[in-house]
Amino acid sequence: MTIDWPNTGDRVAGDYLGHPFEGKVTGVGFEAEPLGRRYAIRFDAPIDVSRSKLMTNPRQNVRAVIAPEGVSIDGKGRPDGIMTLRRA
């Protein structure tokens, strides 16, 4: 399955570190082609990505390289499990 590549300004949804999100694409970079595209996403609501009960680490703006399958990848093109992305 290949992702329907979102463009800047498009609404998107997915999971970030296991947390569901909806948001908006704020930037798209093509420097990672042909492995994927670099996306900047602004979540509608911050996501607390801290694993500690003693502190919080809210994220609202994130970046990730997304493969054609809609999953984030590392620098060698391997899925890293950080983000999934699709059009909302």
- Tell me the pTM: 0.90
CB 61 within 8 A of CB 55: no
Residue 78 has pLDDT above 80, yes or no: yes
Residue 1 has pLDDT above 90, yes or no: no
Mean pLDDT over 40-55 rounds to: 94
Strands 37-48 and 11-16: unpaired
Please report, for the chain, the start and end positions of each structural domain, with discontinuous segments joined by +: 11-87
> What share of the chain in percent tops pLDDT 90?
82
The pLDDT of residue 3 is 76
Rounded CA-CA distance 52/37 in Å is: 31
Mean pLDDT over 55-70 rounds to: 95
Rounded CA-CA distance 36/48 in Å is: 26
